[in-house]
Amino acid sequence: MNISINFETVNLTEKRADEKVSRILALGGFDGIHKGHKKIFSNLLEFSNEFSSSINSVMTFDELPVQYFSKDIFNNVLINTLEERLDLLKDCNVDEVIILNFSSIKELLPEQFMNWILKDLLNAKAMLFGNDYSFALNKQGNAQILLDWAYANNILCKKIELEYFDEKEKISSNLIRRFLKSGNLERANECLGHNFFLYSKVKTGLKLGRTLGFPTVNCEYPKNKITIPKGVYAGKINGKVGAINFGSAPTLRDSFEVCVETHILDSNDVNFKEGDFVKVEFIKFMREELKFSSINELKLQIEKDCEMIKIFFNS
């Protein structure tokens, strides 16, 4: 049976792997890079001190299983796009990210995945994973199967205990998705260990906010990213505190197209131009999207929103 395994590596440090260099692998999908994931990466760095000749690597996928098997017709399920995931991994001090093409390996049985991918392709010397880790076709592989195989192949393994939220629920990407879908940004961010965010490029809007006295920086919401409730959020854009509207602005537009519009508080000087790369962070959901009967009513509500967001940040 011949299977072509497609993958690419992204080097985050000056260390480089070759055919003779073994790897210490962190295994998982790592959507969100939450506190549980960060615990794995912390242990990965400790492991790497014992194997100075090895390179520490994070293995992930170009398309996460949750995308491939999603029942969401628009496939809006990701906490982070691949670009966002890679940027978060830079802060975790790993040497290398291995991005497997999911469609080329999704039919592999556990033995094939372990022998062909982990041993032959990636030359694993040691591996770390959460104790709920599953892999291979129909999730037939689990942590215990991996531990037994690793022992038989003289590969060191470490199973990392889960992190918990409120000492009750395990922190997982699915739990964070549930919080995000319900607008509970504060709980989601607590589980992540950082603010939920997006990367996008500034686009030119209709400048309707400017005519109301609330100029905004507009950008698109990334494709395949999990959809949060439409409405007003307290947040930041490139580190600047702002009032964020996520939605279709029904008072001003007859369109279902959603947009992210950020008004920077305490400043009417919007020093952004079309095409600028921005990071938008969502910190607290303030209210749901509303359609107002008049522009003046909308303006009064925006004033209230901005005041409430200032109070939130100053509290």
Are 22 and 151 members of one domain? yes
* Residue 142, Cβ density class (10 Å: 0-12 exposed, 13-18 middle, ≥19 buried): middle
Residue 54 is assigned to a structural domain of this protein? yes
Last residue of a domain, one of 165, 180, 205: 165
Q: Is residue 171 part of a domain?
A: no
Residues 161 and 219 in one domain: no
Sheet containing 196-201: which strands, arranged edge to edge? 196-201, 277-288, 231-237, 240-247, 259-264, 217-219
State the Cα–Cα distance between residues 262 and 305, nearest whole angstrom. Answer: 12
- Structural domain contains residue 170: no
* Residue 104 lies inside a defined structural domain of this protein: yes
Burial of residue 18 (CB within 10 Å: 0-12, 13-18, 19+) is exposed
Q: Is 185 helix (H, G, I), strand (E, B) or coil?
A: helix
Instruction: Give the Cα separation of 199 and 66 in Å (integer).
Output: 21
Residues 144 and 205 in one domain: no
Contact present, 59 and 27 (Cβ < 8 Å):
yes
Are residues 23 and 138 both part of a single domain? yes
Q: Are 119 and 225 members of one domain?
A: no
Q: Is residue 149 domain-shared with residue 102, that is, in the same domain?
A: yes
Degrees to nearest 5, angle at CA 271 with 312 and 89: 70
Mark whether 143 and 209 lie in a shared domain: no
Record the pTM.
0.92
Task: Give the pLDDT of the chain (315 residues) as one tens digit per residue.
Answer: 333 456 777 776 666 656 667 899 999 999 999 999 999 999 999 988 888 778 999 999 998 988 877 766 556 899 999 999 999 999 998 999 999 999 889 999 999 999 999 999 999 999 999 999 999 999 999 999 999 999 999 999 999 999 999 888 999 999 999 999 999 999 999 999 999 999 999 998 777 778 888 999 999 999 889 999 999 999 999 999 999 999 987 776 666 788 999 999 987 667 888 999 999 999 999 999 998 888 899 999 999 999 999 999 998
- Does a structural domain hold residue 250? yes
**Is the same domain home to 24 and 132?**
yes
Co-location of 65 and 208 in the same domain: no
19/30 Cα distance (integer angstroms): 26
* Rounded distance between C-alpha atoms, residue 7 and residue 32, angstroms: 21
Radius of gyration of the chain (CA): 22
Domain count, the chain: 2
End-to-end CA distance of the chain: 63
Residue with the two structure tokens 């965010």 = 197
93 is in which domain, residue-wise? 7-165
CA distance 194 to 109: 35
Residues 222, 117, single domain; the answer is no
Q: Quick one: tokens of 287?
A: 């209210």
Instruction: Assign residue 60 the CATH number of its domain.
Output: 3.40.50.620
278, 238 in Cβ contact below 8 A?
A: yes
Q: Is residue 139 part of a domain?
A: yes
Classify residue 187: in a domain, yes or no.
no
Task: Flag whether 189 is in a domain.
Answer: no
Q: What is the CATH number of the domain that holds 269?
A: 2.40.30.30
My answer on whether 209 and 265 are in the same domain is: yes
**Which one of 118, 149, 165 terminates a domain?**
165
Q: Are residues 293 and 231 in the same domain?
A: yes
User: Which run of H or E residues covers position 7?
Assistant: strand 7-11
Which residue, 146, 165, 184, sits at the end of a domain? Answer: 165
Whole-angstrom distance, CA of residue 313 vs CA of residue 310: 5
Structure tokens at 138: 């129909």
